[in-house]
Structure 1
Amino acid sequence: MDSVEIGLWGVPLAILGGAIRVSTPFIFVSLGECLTERSGRINLGLEGTLVFGAMSGYAIAYETGSPFAGVLAAAVSGACFGLLHGWICKFKGVNDIAVGIAMMLLGMGLAFFFGKPYIQPVAPDLPSINFGWWSDVPQVRAALQVNVLFILGGLLALAMAWMFRSTRVGLTVRVVGDSTDAARAMGLDPDRVRLLSTAMGGALAGVGGAYLSLFYPGSWTEGISSGQGLMAIALVIFARWNPVNCFWASLLFGGAGALGPALQSIGISEGYYLFFAAPYVLTLGLLILTSSPDRAMQGAPLELSLTK
């Protein structure tokens, strides 16, 4: 049965499948940025971390034959980028936004340099779970072919929300993010907390990059990222620095990204390339509609550069 035979049902099915596939890297990058920003630091370098994670994950997966080794390598490389970013930002007078831009360029440059030998070789893919086994319709089975990292991302969003709300670690990150002076008065080391938070945020962004190269689209190319790392900033603001909201915002963005292919599946191809802009237009529109002078930064950590 082809896609035309199921008629208009092909559109929501394609959007569902696209939301699951496209949203996964956004989930990990936005959760990483959410953790980093809750500690009071912005990391604009996650785009470079994402790209380098995609390259390193693909390279290690190819060399070892294990996609999970690739994911681990991507997480380690992302953590190293986060540690470097956090270490530089601890010096007085250093602007975290400027450092983030420099780290973004560094990560992308290193990925393109070291990744050239891995453009042609084929690495093993990450496994997925077939939740559509009960259906005979190929479109349903394809839409419900869920990668394990998507499920892990959903569980991680819940775990992170619980951590911020109910644990000492979460309270420490929140205090540091809201007031450096209060954190020092409590005997905390703000620089160390932000360093570790930035490193963990980088590790999550690296995992998001590994998903890109090892599952969807499932190859390493220099154009593998379309600004997902930078879009994480907008997603986190839209989600009001809430991990669970980051998950839903990522799904919304993924569904918007699947709109063009979904319409094409039922024969609507006019203006097809314009639909690729749908996720960006949607995100910009939502940020405008949900913002106002009295609540634009509602929920933002007070030590962020955005709030000063």
Structure 2
Amino acid sequence: MTGMAWFDVLVAVLGGAIRVGTPFLFVSLGECLTEKAGRINLGLEGVLVFSAMAGFGASYLTGVWWLGVLAAGFSGALIALLHGLVSSLPRVNDIAAGIAIMLLGGGLAFYLGKPLIQPQAAQIPAIPLGAWLGAEPQGAVGSALAINALFPIGVAMALALAWALKNTGWGLTVRMVGDSADAARAQGTSVNGVRIAATTAGGFIAGLGGASLSLYFPGSWNEALSSGQGLIAVALVIFARWHPVRCLWAALLFGGAGALGPALQSVGVTGYYHLFNAVPYVLTLAILVWACSPRRSLQGAPAELGVSH
């Protein structure tokens, strides 16, 4: 390829990292908050799919995209609240409950969302970052750098969450519950209450990722919308060492990996296209193998998750 073609690929990957990475960002932030409180939510796939359907439906019925975003967030919170309540029952395993919630959320979304497969809903607007930098809005650079309006909110949320977990009493309580439930109880803290609240808030944040899927990229509702992004987010949190800002970089990394295939195809590199599309899943496997190495021992994991040394 020529130098200009390589430049086009780099710009496309950068734009794709933001476009594809935005749902990853919100879902990983939601899971990060949940796991900081000592609970794993494998039901995020169900949360993501259900919130994507609810957000699309609300946007379609009202014609107002931000109402769709709010509906997605509250729908995600509702499903996550159910997971938090069920997981708080005696002798209920987080992992098993999460799988059940994943199936429930997916089933409800597929059943309730059948009438939404064909219609078009009001979409989340794009911020013309490329145009602000002097690029033609319809050109390759301008199109690649038109970013999801929710992305800056996700960046701000990552920074705010990192600050709050470190510098506020609320953050200290969440981290104490995640690191030592016994110490939290000794302080008079309701461990189940904190975990339910953190799981519900995490579900709301993840629901914004669902809105990004159905109302921006790809911007429609169908039953194969998520492609396992909710489960990949769990690996992202491990890769980010349970830190919200590192979740941002991890989401952009996965977004760039997902955009690599289409970027190469846009400049005529069509061989091994499906192999490039598999890069995010290969990355997920590599991260899990790397993170589970005895030499690394999942540093930074909340102790109540039972995965740290």
The answer to whether the Cα contact below 8 Å between 1:4 and 1:10 also exists between their aligned partners in 2 is: no
Residues 176-255 of structure 1: pairs in structure 2 closer than 5 A: 176-255=177-256
Contact 2:51 2:76 in 1 (8 A): yes
What is the alpha-carbon root mean square deviation over aligned residues? 1.6
The more displaced of 124-133 and 37-46 is 124-133
Q: 1:169 is matched with which residue? A: 170
Aligned to 1:135: 135
Cα 1:165–1:5 change in 2 (3 A) is: closer
Following the alignment from structure 2 to structure 1, what is the Cα–Cα distance between the partners of residues 52 and 306? 29
**Larger mean Cα displacement after TM superposition, 276-285 or 37-46:** 276-285
Measured after TM superposition, the shift of residue 138 of structure 1 is: 0.7
Give the 3-state SS of the residue equivalent to 1:300 in structure 2.
coil
Give the letter aligned to residue 232 of structure 1.
A
Using the TM superposition, give the Cα deviation of residue 144 of structure 1 relative to its aligned residue in structure 2, in angstroms.
Answer: 1.1
Q: Contact (CA 8 Å) 2:83, 2:98: kept in 1 or not?
A: yes
- Counterpart AA for 2:269: I
Distance 1:263 1:296 in 2: 37
Report if aligned partners of 1:29, 1:205 keep a CA contact under 8 Å in 2: yes
3-state SS of paired residue (1:188): coil
SS at match of 2:150: helix
Q: Distance in 2 between matches of 1:182 and 1:56?
A: 39
Contact 1:131 1:146 in 2 (8 A): yes
SS at match of 1:61: helix
Query: For the Cα contact (< 8 Å) 2:235–2:287, is it kept in 1?
Result: no
Q: Which residue of 2 aligns with 1:51?
A: 49
* Alpha-carbon shift at residue 210 of structure 1 (Å): 0.8
Q: Secondary structure at the match of 2:158?
A: helix
User: Could you tell me which amino acid in structure 2 is paired with residue 55 of structure 1?
Assistant: M
Aligned mates of 2:171, 2:295 — CA distance in 1: 26
2:26 pairs, out of 18, 25, 28, with 28
The structural deviation recorded for 1:289 is 3.8
Give the TM-score of the pair, scaled to structure 1.
Answer: 0.96
Q: Offset at 1:9?
A: 1.2
Contact preservation (8 Å) 2:17, 2:253: yes
Is 1:30–1:235's contact at 8 Å kept on the other side of the alignment?
Answer: yes
| Matched residue SS, 2:130 | coil
Q: Which amino acid in the other structure matches residue 151 of structure 1? A: P
Q: Please, which moves more after superposition, 141-150 or 298-307?
A: 298-307
1:92 to 82, 86, 90: 90
Tell whether the 8 Å contact from 1:42 to 1:305 is kept in structure 2 after alignment. Answer: no
Instruction: Give the SS at the match of 2:147.
Output: strand
Amino acid of the structure 1 residue aligned with 2:84: G
Tell me if the contact between 1:4 and 1:265 (Cα under 8 Å) persists in the aligned partners: no
Q: Is the 8 A contact 1:41 1:305 kept in 2?
A: no
Structure 1 stretch displaced more, 129-138 or 215-224: 129-138
Return the alpha-carbon distance in structure 1 between the equivalents of residues 85 and 162 of structure 2. 26
Output the CA distance in 1 between the equivalents of 2:291 and 2:44: 25
Does the CA-based 8 Å contact 1:36-1:201 persist in structure 2? yes
- What is aligned with 1:106? 104
Equivalent residue runs for 1:139-154 within 5 Å = 139-154=140-155
Deviation readout 1:243-297 (Å, 9 max, x if unpaired): 0000100000000001111111111111111111101112322443455314222
Q: Percent identity?
A: 59
Query: Are 1:158 and 2:159 an aligned pair?
Result: yes
CA deviations 1:139-196 (Å, max 9, x no partner) are 1101210111111101100000001110011000000000111001111100000000
User: Is 1:302 matched with 2:303?
Assistant: yes
Residue 62 of structure 1 deviates from its aligned partner by 0.5
Aligned residue-pair number: 306
Instruction: Tell me how far 1:13 sits from its aligned partner.
Output: 1.0
| Cα contact 2:297–2:308 (8 A) shared by 1 | no
Instruction: Give, in whole Å, the separation in 2 of the partners of 1:178 and 1:124.
Output: 43
* Distance in 2 between residues matched to 1:35 and 1:119, nearest whole Å: 32
Q: How far 1:217 moved relative to its partner?
A: 0.3
CA distances 1:219-241 after superposition (whole Å, capped 9, x unpaired) = 00111111000001100001000
Give the conservation status (yes or no) of the 8 Å contact 2:291–2:298. no
Change (3 A) 1:290 1:36: closer
Q: Structure 1 runs of 4+ off > 4 angstroms?
A: none
Number of the residue aligned with 1:275: 276
Q: 2:114 aligns with which of 103, 116, 121?
A: 116
